[in-house]
A and B are shown apart, each in its own frame.
Chain A
Amino acid sequence: MNVLEIRGLGVDYLSGSGAVHAVSGVSLDLRRGEILGLAGESGSGKSTLANAVARLLRPPASITSGSVVYRRQDGSAVDVLALGGNELRAFRWKELAVVFQSAMNSLNPVITVGAQIDDVLRVHAPRMSRNERTERSVELLQRVGISADRRRSYPHELSGGMRQRAAIAIALALNPEIIIMDEPTTALDVVVQRDILAEIRALREEYGFAVVFITHDLSLLMEISDRIAIMYAGRVVETGTAKALHRAPRHPYTLGLLRSFPRLRGPREELPGIPGVPPDLRSPPPGCAFHPRCAMAVAECSESLPVLRTEADGEVACLLNDGRGVS
């Protein structure tokens, strides 16, 4: 059932003043064909987690522990962290594609959109003829609602929404099993955002890929996701189906997020539903990292680190929790 299994993953950023534990002990499953939402404030480690899975981390970031296993449709397992050279290149995009936050920045500004699809095909499907590749590029662009003649356009000649659609078309090029979408709609206005979300859902129905959808906008995730994982200070604090999370959040942080009206991207700011700011990850608070901001914290919260416990349709890492939800 699972297409991706993350176990005990840890990522550190090494800096002069000590290691920043951006991701610690994260275990997460991605099921075949599902949309998994990944939410949290900026700095919670969600993008770092995604980049670790796609093997896109660069120094000073490095994976310190854990494993990432990719399961093919035939059941065979691939140790993603051990891939190197050509295997890694093949894994990227054939099995796993990424749509980045801002298509303005993720599309090469000096190459046409068509050529940016074409070079994926040329590398990964060397048997395709030039004409076949062109046909495929046109087909992909049309599938995401871009007319064929736009193939010759440069990114700056497209609107923001069109660029993001083009980025999705590039992601679809090789029919990957997994697409990681890192804040794919954050830079867009609300109407365009709706269109793109609808498009993603329709494409998922058609092609059956699984999506890791990253955003700090929990209400948006509620709409699009099958399941949601909430991250805080580099750890997963709660997972559950979108419905369950919405109806009965079990972690006080999830509750706070639900009560906050998220701003469009901006600096780390206090969320109205949660006082204080995220902790310094060089020296996170002892015990549950959330306890200094938690209205429900008890003495024990500052002493022992809660583990992620499996509950009915979900998991939660909170000492208070007895499985009935906090609200």
Chain B
Amino acid sequence: MRFLARRLGFYLLTAWAAITLNFLIPRLMPGDPVELLVARMKGNVDPAAIDAMRRAFGISDASPWRQYLDYLGNLAHGELGRSITFFPTEVSTVIADSLPWTVGLVGVATLISYLIGTSLGVIMAWKRGTWLDGVLPAATFMHAVPYFWVALALVFVFGVTLRWFPVSRAYGLDVMPGLTGEFARSVLYHATLPAITIVLASMADRILGMRNVMVTTLGEDYVVMAEAKGLTSRRVMWAYAARNAILPNITSFALSLGFVVGGSVLTEIVFSYPGIGSMLLKGVENEDFPLMQGIFLVISLAVLVANFLADLAYVVLDPRTRQETE
């Protein structure tokens, strides 16, 4: 459990760093964000919005230390200021409305991509030297493809040309949101292409990563011994080789999460999916700094939580981390 405690400590520290970074960015970047905004809008800004922004940043004549404490205090109450785009809606409300869409889409897609990619990596390592090696060049190519480009290609082929799937929104205009089968079907239908985008773009890393670790693991004595024991190939492959190879793979998966989230943000934008990625774009387009920063903070915290979940999985899977004495 010392392992988990150490990791938790690290995440708390990182969360604090993200929060502090968020506080520092408007103060360290060249120019006063509010002045910047007013200048860009050529003065066409609601005075209430300017006021809201100043408050949101906690920018005042008080000492920086005082400002920092105020900022932390506001944050503790879940207060991220007011959005300029959706003025006078609170940033936290905007995020609360869009976050479930993102968590649902990116969470499920990442899970699918992880399961398929890792399994493929295992099987490809096991069947080295067969036709399955042909997947490698494709995976090598896919691993560097920009998410949003995959999204554009899917929209073009399956949305515009074949018209199989819708290419924007999270559910049909003709469906009332609610706990109905019709609504659920519409949501799944609309999520198909964005989800496939994320799966395709993130899967290559999982395939290549798992294959490499697995190939190394297959040379371990315990795998040779499992084979010598006359166990079935399936058991040697999964319970002995893959079961061990998955451990380093979890760590690299956790580290890639930030990248997946970044790509998903762009994917949402291509599909006008109403998650926080699209909100981030709205924030960017409207110079809505409170919204941008609030979203950055939420995404960071979400990635930290996901990392901690990965650590939990690691502890469950590796008995060596459960040892009390180092």
Contacts and interface: CB of A to CB of B under 8 A. Distances in A.
Determine whether A and B are in direct contact in the complex, meaning some CB atoms lie less than 8 angstroms apart.
yes
Interface of A: 54, 56, 59, 88-94, 97-98, 100-102, 105-111, 119-120, 123-124, 154, 156-157, 170
B230 A108 contact: no
Interface centre among A98, A102, A108, A154 (most CB of B within 10 A): A108
Contacts of A93: 228-230
A119 B244 contact: no
Given A98-B228, A107-B222, A157-B323, 13 more contacts: A56-B228, A90-B230, A92-B229, A94-B230, A105-B220, A108-B240, A109-B320, A110-B247, A120-B231, A123-B230, A156-B320, A156-B323, A170-B229
Interface string B96-137: 000000000000000000000000000000000100000000
B228 A97 contact: yes
Nearest to A180: B228
Q: Which 6 A-B pairs have the closest CB atoms?
A: A92-B230, A105-B221, A89-B230, A106-B221, A154-B319, A93-B230
B90 interface: no
B163 interface: no
A59 B218 CA distance: 13
B232 A108 contact: no
B231 A100 contact: no
A108 B323 contact: no
B239 A91 contact: no
B224 A123 contact: no
Contacts, number: 77
A106 B229 CA distance: 11
B48 interface: no
Interface centre among A88, A93, A101, A102 (most CB of B within 10 A): A93
A108 B222 contact: yes
Nearest to A156: B320
Given A100-B221, A106-B221, A110-B317, A119 B239 contact: yes
B316 to A, nearest CB: 10
Contacts of B231: 89, 119-120, 123
Contact of B239 (A59, A100, A105, A111): A111
A196 B290 CA distance: 70
Interface in B196-225: 220-222, 224-225
A98 B232 CA distance: 17
A240 B227 CA distance: 32
A55 to B, nearest CB: 9
A298 B285 CA distance: 91
B70 interface: no
Contacts of A154: 319-320
B232 A89 contact: yes
A111 B247 CA distance: 13
B225 A119 contact: no
17 contacts: A59-B129, A90-B230, A92-B230, A93-B230, A97-B229, A98-B225, A100-B225, A105-B221, A106-B222, A106-B225, A108-B244, A109-B222, A109-B319, A109-B320, A120-B229, A123-B231, A157-B323
A297 to B, nearest CB: 38
